[in-house]
Amino acid sequence: MASLSRNLGSFRHLCLRNRLCKIYDIRAVTSNNSFSRGQAMGQLPAVYMLSRRDSSSLLAKNYPEFEMFQSRHLGPRVKETQAMLEFIGYSDMDSFIGKTVPASIHLKEDLKLDSPLGESQALQKLQEIAQKNAVWKNYIGMGYYNTHMPYTIMRNLFENVGWLTQYTPYQAEISQGRLESLTNYQTMISDMTGLEFSNASLLDEGTAAAEAMTMCVRHNKRTRFYVDVNSHPQTIAVMETRARMLNLDVIVEDAEKMDFSHNDITGVLLQYPDTNGKVQDFGDVISRAHQAKTLVTLATDLLALTLLKSPGELGADIAVGSSQRFGVPLGYGGPHAAFMSTKNTFRRSIPGRLVGVTRDAQGNPAYRLALQTREQHIRRDKATSNICTAQALLANIAAMYAVYHGPEGLKAIGNKVHYGTLLLKEGVRQAGHTLHTDLVFDTVKFLPKGDLTALKQRANEKMVNLRYFQDGWVSVSMDETVSVKDLNDLLTIVGSPKTAEELSGIIGEKPVDSIGQSHLKRTSTYLTHAVFNRYQSETNIVRYMKVLENKDLSLVHSMIPLGSCTMKLNASSELIPCSWNEFASMHPFAPKEQAEGYIEMFKSLEKDLCEITGFDKISFQPNSGAQGEYAGLCTIMAYLSDHGETERNVCLIPISAHGTNPASAQMAGMKIQVIRVAADGAIDKEHLIEMVEKYKDTLACLMVTYPSTHGVFDEDIREICDLIHSHGGLVYLDGANMNAQVGLCRPGDYGADVCHLNLHKTFCIPHGGGGPGMGPIGVKEKLAPYLPGHPVVDPFDSGESSSKSLGVISAGPYGSSLILPISWTYIKMMGPQGLKKASQLAILCANYMSYRLRGHYKTLYTNKNNLVAHEFIVDCRPFKKLANIEAVDIAKRLQDYGKFVFHFSLIPVILDNVEAKCWRSY
C-alpha cells in the first residue's frame, strides 16, 4: 500500500506539473527534470522560469503588444499618441519626426538589433550568461572586499525604487530624506577620518586620490606630487593619467625616501594601511611635508579606522578612500561610493556635492546643497572638478550600514577581521614562510618558503583567489564574511600545521602584534551622534528608512521632467540582476577566466551600443557622464599626440553646453574657446567658422551636445562636423541627449568621432538621488587603440593593453560593472522598434507640452518647423517684467502640487544673462 501511495502521489505530482507547465510555459534551465511536491504547490525553484507563452505561440501572435515589455515601458497608448499628434497638426509619427530630425541625418532603416524578448525570457537569457561567472572566495583585497549587506538595507533601500529613482537633490524641499541620509554619510566620514569637512561621495578611490592631487595644486600652485610606492596600483595609474593631462609631475617613491627640502612638492599621497597590508606611522613624513608647506593626503580604509588612529590625528590634511566594505557589493568593480574629507581650511577647494544644514522660512532646521559656486554647473571650466553625478545611492547604503551597526557594531566587525588576520599571520609563521611586516590590519603578505605552484594548486582546489605578486610574494586580505571554516581553508592553503582553534590558543585574546597593543591604537570616539546609536533594531531601521524615503520625490510619486536624466522607467526586471550573486560577488581583479559571464555581457552590450550609435568600439570604464567626457577628450589628445600634433589643444564649446563640458576640457589639458549661439538656439555657424579659421593650427576638437541643451536639432550638424575635420580637428559629441536620437539618427554616421553615453539617462540605470551613473564612450576605429587601459586587468579584447592607450580613468577596469545588466536588459527587451518608439515619444511629448503651453508661455527656441527636440525652454522674462516673478518662483510653486509636482532644477540656464527653464520629456 505504501508503494502504491507513493506511485499515485508521483502520478498526481506529474499531472500537476504538466498542467502548470502548460498554463505558464515553464521551461527548465537545467538538465534535471525533478519537481518536488512543495514546488508543485507554488514554490517554484529559481531554475524554472515562469512566463507567458513565448512569441511563437498562438496567443503571442494574436496579442503581441500585451506580450512585449515596450508596452509596459512606454507611457502613451496608441489613442493618446494619436491625439497628441493631431493636436500639434500631424496625422502620423513618421511625418512628424520627419519635420523634427534633419533629413540629412535621419536613419533610413531600422537598427540591426535582436528581436525583443519578454521580461522572463530576457532574465532567463541573462541568468544563463551570469552562471558562466565562477564566484570564488576572494582574498585579493586592493581596496575591494567581501561584505554583508544587511538584508533589511537590501530590501528597503538597495532594491527600493523609492530610493533608486530620485534625481540629484537640487531642490531641497522635495529632497529632505536623501539629504539627511547624505548628511549622515558626511558625518560618518568626518568622524572616522578625524577631519572636519567631508563631501557627499566621489566616484571611486582612484579618482578621489586624483581629485586630492588637483586640490593640492589649487592650494599652493606647485606642480610636483609624491605618491607612495605602496599605494594601490590602480590608484597610482589613475593619478598618473590625470597628472599627464594637466602637465603635473607625479613621482612614485617610498615614503621614507621622499625629499621635501626644495619646497617644490605640492602634495603627497600615502596609503594607510598600504597595499601590502602594512600599517605605518607616517608622523615623520607628514611633519617633514608640512615644514615644506606640502599638503598630505592619506588614502585609508574605513573599517581599519575603527581600530587605528584617524588621518586627522596623524596630521593629514585630506583623507580619501572607498566606503565599499560598508555593505556595498563588489560588483566586479562598482559602483562604490568614494569619500574625501579635509580640514575646514580647505572646504571651498573640496570637489563634489556638499550637504549643509540651514533653516527654512519658519526657522526649522533643513538640509540643502551647500557651496555650489565651486561646482561645474556654475563655474564651468573654473570649477574645482567636473564631477556631477557621484555615488549617492551607494553613499546612502554605506551610511545606513553605519547607522544600523552603530559604533560598537562597526568596532566589533573591525576586531573580528583583525583577529582573523592575526590567526592567519601566525599560521603563515608556523608554516615557515617569510612575513612582509609585523603590524597589519586585514592583510598578510608573505614569501612562500617553497614551491609557489603547490600553494596555488591548493588555493584553486578550494576555489580561493589570493593576490600573487610578480616577485613571488603572496597576500591574503580578510573581510567580515570570513568564517572559521574559511580561515581553516586558508591555513590549509598556506600549509599551516595548526588549525584556527589551535592558533587562537597560541596568540591569546590580546596578541602582542595587534593594533590594540600598538601606539597607533585609536582612542578617540566616533559616531557619537544620536542617529548612529538609535537604530540598531530592524524595526527601528526600517521605520527610519521609510521616513526618509517618504520625504522625497521619486518616480514612485510623479514624473520628473528634468531631462532624459531620470525620465525613463527603471523597470523591476532590469534591476533584479543587480542582486544576483553571480554579478554582485565578483572581485574586479579576479582572473578573467572566472568572469566569462561578465565578459560575454560586455561584448553583447558593446555590440548593441555600437549599432545604436554608429561607433566601432566602446569603453565601459568611465563611471559617470562627466568622466566619459574626460575619457573621450583624453582619447582625442592621445590620438593627436601619437600623430605628432601636440600643438593641437584648443576645444571649441558652444555657450549652451553643459557645465561639465568646459570643466572636462580643462581637466584634459585643453584650452577652451566658447562659440556663440544663433537666434534660433543653434550654433552660430559664422562665429564657428571664424574660430575654426583662427585656431586652424591648434584646433583639437569641437565639443557639442546634440540635440542641443536649447532643445533643437541643429540642421547643419553634418556640415559642422565636416568643417572641423577639414581643419584637422575631431568632433566630440556629448551624448546626454541621446534619448532623442536612438533609432532615429547615429552620431557615428553624421560625423562624430567620439561620444559618451549616459546609461543612467538613455539606457535606464536609475539616478539614485545623484548616482550611480555610467558614461561609457564610443569611438570610431581610428581612436580605438587610445581607449583607457588598466594596470591590473586588461580591458582590451586582444588581451594585451595597447601601448597607445590614454592611460587609466577609473579604479575598476570596466567601471561600475554591476549596473550594466540594467542597460543590457533594457535593450534586449525593447528591441529596435521599441528603442525607436521611445525616442519618437520623447520628442512627441515635448512638442505636445510646448503646444499646450502656447498662448501662456513662450517656447524660447524651435526649429524652422516650429518644433523642438525632446526638451524645450520656457521663456519666463515677461513675468519678471509684469509681476517680478522669476523662473525659480514658478518652479517652487509647482512643488506645491503634491504628487503631481514637476521637478525643476533650481539652477537656471544662462542665456545672454537671462534666466530660463528647461522642460524635458521622456
Read off the pLDDT of residues 64-91 as tens digits, 9 standing for 90 and up.
Answer: 555 589 888 998 999 999 999 999 999 9
Task: Specify the higher pLDDT residue, 560 or 341.
Answer: 341
Q: Is residue 536 part of a domain?
A: no
pLDDT score of 3 more than 60: no
Taking residues 376-381, report their average pLDDT: 56
Task: Give 244-311 as a 3 state SS string.
Answer: HHCCCEEEEECHHHCCCCCCCEEEEEEEECCCCCECCCCHHHHHHHHHCCCEEEEEEECCHHHCECCH
* Chain mean pLDDT for the chain: 88
* β partners of residue 618: 778
Using CA atoms, how far residue 540 sits from 406, 528, 534, 544, 794, in Å, is 13, 18, 8, 6, 45
Residues 328 and 432 in one domain: no
Give the pLDDT confidence score for residue 801 in this predicted structure: 59
Q: Which of 27, 31, 21, 17 is nearest to 124 (CA)?
A: 27
Q: Is residue 603 part of a domain?
A: yes
Q: Is residue 820 part of a domain?
A: no
pLDDT score of 885 more than 60: yes
Distance CA 909, CA 659 (A): 10
Residues 693 and 651 in one domain: yes
Distance CA 620, CA 759 (A): 10
| CATH number of the structural domain spanning residue 453 | 3.90.1150.10
- Give the pLDDT band (50/70/90) at residue 12: very low
Taking residues 180-190, report their average pLDDT: 98
Read off the pLDDT of residues 555-593 as tens digits, 9 standing for 90 and up.
Answer: 888 777 665 455 678 999 999 999 999 999 999 999 999
Give the pLDDT confidence score for residue 567 in this predicted structure: 64
Residues 368 and 446 in one domain: no
Taking residues 784-794, report their average pLDDT: 96
Task: Specify the higher pLDDT residue, 37 or 85.
Answer: 85
Share of the chain above pLDDT 90, in %: 74
Looking at beta carbons, which pairs linking 575-578 to residues 24 or more positions away fall under 8 Å? Answer: 575/159, 575/161, 575/164, 575/766, 575/822, 576/123, 577/123, 577/126, 577/127, 577/130, 577/821, 577/822, 577/825, 578/158, 578/331, 578/818, 578/819, 578/821, 578/822
- Give the pLDDT band (50/70/90) at residue 11: very low
Domain boundary among 475, 496, 517: 517
Contact between residue 375 and residue 231 where contact means Cβ atoms under 8 Å apart:
no
Residues 451 and 357 in one domain: no
Contact between residue 548 and residue 177 where contact means Cβ atoms under 8 Å apart:
yes
| CATH number of the structural domain spanning residue 681 | 3.40.640.10
Residues 483 and 612 in one domain: no
Largest CA distance in the chain: 98
pLDDT score of 797 more than 90: no
Give the pLDDT confidence score for residue 652 in this predicted structure: 97
Task: Specify the higher pLDDT residue, 168 or 816.
Answer: 816
Contact between residue 184 and residue 403 where contact means Cβ atoms under 8 Å apart:
yes
DSSP alpha helix (H) spans, 806-874:
820-853
CA angle 517, 521, 526 (to 5 degrees): 145
Give the pLDDT confidence score for residue 877 in this predicted structure: 86
Distance CA 708, CA 719 (A): 16
pLDDT score of 174 more than 70: yes
CA dihedral of residues 342, 343, 347, 349 (deg, nearest 10): -60
CB atoms inside a 10 Å sphere around CB 598: 27
pLDDT score of 42 more than 80: no
Give the pLDDT confidence score for residue 25 in this predicted structure: 37
Q: Is residue 190 part of a domain?
A: yes
Give the pLDDT confidence score for residue 379 in this predicted structure: 53
* β partners of residue 734: 705, 756
Residues 661 and 604 in one domain: yes
Domain boundary among 483, 517, 551: 517
Residues 262 and 201 in one domain: yes
Cis peptide before 747 (omega within 30 of 0): no
Cell numbers describing residue 62: 494574436
Q: Which of 791, 766, 776, 619 is nearest to 206 (CA)?
A: 791
Contact between residue 197 and residue 342 where contact means Cβ atoms under 8 Å apart:
yes
Q: Is residue 802 part of a domain?
A: no
Name the DSSP class of 50.
P
> What is the edge-to-edge ordering of all strands in the sheet holding 197-198?
197-198, 338-342, 318-322, 295-301, 265-272, 224-228, 249-253
Residues 390 and 425 in one domain: no
CA dihedral of residues 882, 884, 886, 892 (deg, nearest 10): -120
Give the pLDDT confidence score for residue 61 in this predicted structure: 56
For residue 817, the SS3 value is helix
Residue 10: which domain range? Answer: 1-50
Contact between residue 784 and residue 797 where contact means Cβ atoms under 8 Å apart:
no
Contact between residue 495 and residue 449 where contact means Cβ atoms under 8 Å apart:
no
351: left (phi over 0), alpha (psi -120 to 50) or beta: beta
Give the pLDDT confidence score for residue 360 in this predicted structure: 85
- Give the pLDDT band (50/70/90) at residue 876: confident
3-state helix, strand, coil in the chain (%, to 5): 45, 15, 40
Residues 498 and 395 in one domain: no
CA angle 844, 849, 854 (to 5 degrees): 125
Taking residues 297-305, report their average pLDDT: 99
pLDDT score of 22 more than 80: no
pLDDT score of 481 more than 80: yes
Share of the chain above pLDDT 70, in %: 87
pLDDT score of 743 more than 70: yes
Q: What are phi and psi of 413, to 5 degrees?
A: -65, -45
pLDDT score of 212 more than 50: yes
Contact between residue 582 and residue 595 where contact means Cβ atoms under 8 Å apart:
no
Read off the pLDDT of residues 45-69 as tens digits, 9 standing for 90 and up.
Answer: 333 333 433 444 555 555 555 558 9
pTM of the model: 0.91
Give the pLDDT confidence score for residue 164 in this predicted structure: 93
Taking residues 488-508, report their average pLDDT: 97
pLDDT score of 906 more than 60: no
Read off the pLDDT of residues 251-288 as tens digits, 9 standing for 90 and up.
Answer: 999 999 999 999 999 999 999 999 999 999 999 999 99
Residues 200 and 311 in one domain: yes
Cis peptide before 707 (omega within 30 of 0): yes
Q: Is residue 735 part of a domain?
A: yes
Half-sphere exposure of 399 (CA within 13 A, CB side): 32
Give the pLDDT confidence score for residue 904 in this predicted structure: 44
Domain boundary among 402, 427, 459: 402
Q: Which of 770, 781, 775 is nearest to 758 (CA)?
A: 775
Element (H, E) at 645: none
Residues 332 and 433 in one domain: no
Q: Is residue 130 part of a domain?
A: no
DSSP one-letter string for 144-171: B------HHHIIIIIT-HHHHSPPPS-S
Q: Is residue 861 part of a domain?
A: no
- Give the pLDDT band (50/70/90) at residue 800: low
How many domains does the chain fold into?
Answer: 4
Contact between residue 239 and residue 248 where contact means Cβ atoms under 8 Å apart:
no
Residues 205 and 313 in one domain: yes
DSSP alpha helix (H) spans, 535-649:
538-550, 572-575, 581-584, 596-613, 625-642
Taking residues 808-818, report their average pLDDT: 97
Name the DSSP class of 552.
B
